[in-house]
Each structure stands twice: as structure tokens, then as C-alpha cells.
Structure 1
């Protein structure tokens, strides 16, 4: 899977980006996502993610992770239909993670920053693959799968 990483904070080390890449590659294999799939991950601060949260979700507060699934039609959107002969890689969408909020939550929950950042990356990844937690049944399925992936990868609380 081809993942584009953007660090708007200029504070995320290349080692940390490599760790998240490896975790998301593992999650992609776990879900049997085709290798020619694309997505992006943007690391930002609370101020940056607050703007996204306000503009796209109507919530004027920082959050930990926001996902934009490209394969999901929004309300009032017309689906894009491509010529069947045109071969294009599948693009899942974009994940934005507040590293500032991740650090705050790691402290709140009493686990490492690495664990929290990995949790948020997998959480966003599941969202752009069609999982959600709007109902109790959806939450049970998504959070169960999230835990399975993180445990199988070895990133436990």
C-alpha cells in the first residue's frame, strides 16, 4: 500500500513515520487490502485539526483523529464513475491526526505516546475502510477489530 505522510508539525521523526507506516501496512494486510491501494496520513497540531473539525464536522474544538473516506458518498454527492478501461489505484482517503492531542490522551489513559498514535492511526484507517461506531453494534465490531489488529501487531496498552 502506498501511504503519503505529511507532517505539518515538523516534529514527527522519520522513525515515528516509519513505525506508523509499518503498523498501517500490517493493518492493510490484516484486512486484505490490495497492494496498489493509496491513502494519506497528515500529522497536525490541535489548532490545525480544530479548523478541519469546525469546517467539516461543525465542531469548533480540537479532536484526535479525523478521516475522509474517498469511497464513501457524502450527502448530496454524486458517485464518480470511471471508465472501466482506465486502470487507477484504489484511494481509500485521508487521515488527519493531532499529535498534540495524542500526547494529551496518552497521559490521560496512562499509556505511551506510541500506543496512542498507533491506536489513532488504526482507528482512522478503519474509518476510511467503511467501519464506524455510530451504533452500539457498529462500535462493538469496529473497536473489536481495532483491538485485534493492535494486539496482533504487538501494540498493547
Structure 2
């Protein structure tokens, strides 16, 4: 999978970026996502993610992760169809992760910062692939799969 990683904070190490890319490719293999699929992950601070949360979700507070699934239509949106679309790679969308929230939550949940970054990346990735936690049943399905992926990768609590 082609993953574009951007660190707006300039504080995520190259080793962490490589590890997130490996983890997301592992998750893609678990979901049998084609190698030609594209997506992006942006690491930002609380102010950056708060602005996105406010502008797109009408929640004026920082959050840990936001996903924008390109294949998911919003209310009243029409699908975008390109001629010869079969020749284009599939683009899942974009994930934004607050590294400040990741640090806070690593302390709160008493696990490593790298584990929290990985957890948030997989959580966002599952959202890009249509999983959510709006109902108890959906939450169980998503969180079970999330745990299965993280455990199989070796990124346990």
C-alpha cells in the first residue's frame, strides 16, 4: 500500500514513521486491501486537530484521531466517477493524529507512546475501511478487529 506520512510537528522520529507504515501495511494485508491502494497519515498538534475537529465535525476541542474516508459519502454528496476509473489506484482517504493527545493517552492508559500511536493509526485505518463504533454491536466488531490486528502485529498493551 502506498502511504504518505506527514509530520507537521517535526517530532515523530523516522523510526516511528517506518513502524507506522509497516503496521498499516500489516493491517491492510489483514483486510486483504490491494497493494496499489493509497492513503495518508498526518501527525499534528492539538491546535491543528482542534481546528479540523471544529471545522468538519463542529466539535471545538482537540481529539486524538480523525479519519476522512474518501469512499464514504456524506449527506447529500454525489459519488465522483472518473472515466477509466479502473486504471486509477484506490484511495482510502486521510488520517490525522494528534501527537499531543497520543502522549497524554499513553500516560493515561499506562502503555508506551509508540503503542498509542499504532493504536490510533489502526483505529483511523479501520474507519477509512468502513468500520465505526456508533452502536454497541459495531463497536464490538471494530474494537475486536483492532485488538486482533495490534496483537498479531505484536503491539500489545
Distance in 2 of aligned mates of 1:142 and 1:82: 31
**Corresponding residue for 2:43?**
43
RMSD, aligned CA: 0.9
SS of residue in 2 equivalent to 1:117: helix
Gaps of 5+ in 2: none
**Corresponding residue for 1:11?**
11
**Corresponding residue for 2:118?**
118
Gaps of 5+ in 1: none
SS of residue in 2 equivalent to 1:33: coil
**Corresponding residue for 1:90?**
90
SS of residue in 2 equivalent to 1:3: strand
**Corresponding residue for 1:143?**
143
The two structures have a TM-score, normalised by structure 2, of: 0.98
Distance in 2 of aligned mates of 1:86 and 1:24: 24
- The Cα shift of 1:84 comes to 3.9
Distance in 1 of aligned mates of 2:82 and 2:139: 33
**Corresponding residue for 2:75?**
75
Please list the CA deviations of residues 75-125 of structure 1 after superposition, one character each: whole Å capped at 9, or x if unmatched.
111111222465100000000000110000000000000110000000000
Runs of 4+ off more than 4 Å: none
Distance in 2 of aligned mates of 1:120 and 1:46: 14
The two structures have a TM-score, normalised by structure 1, of: 0.98
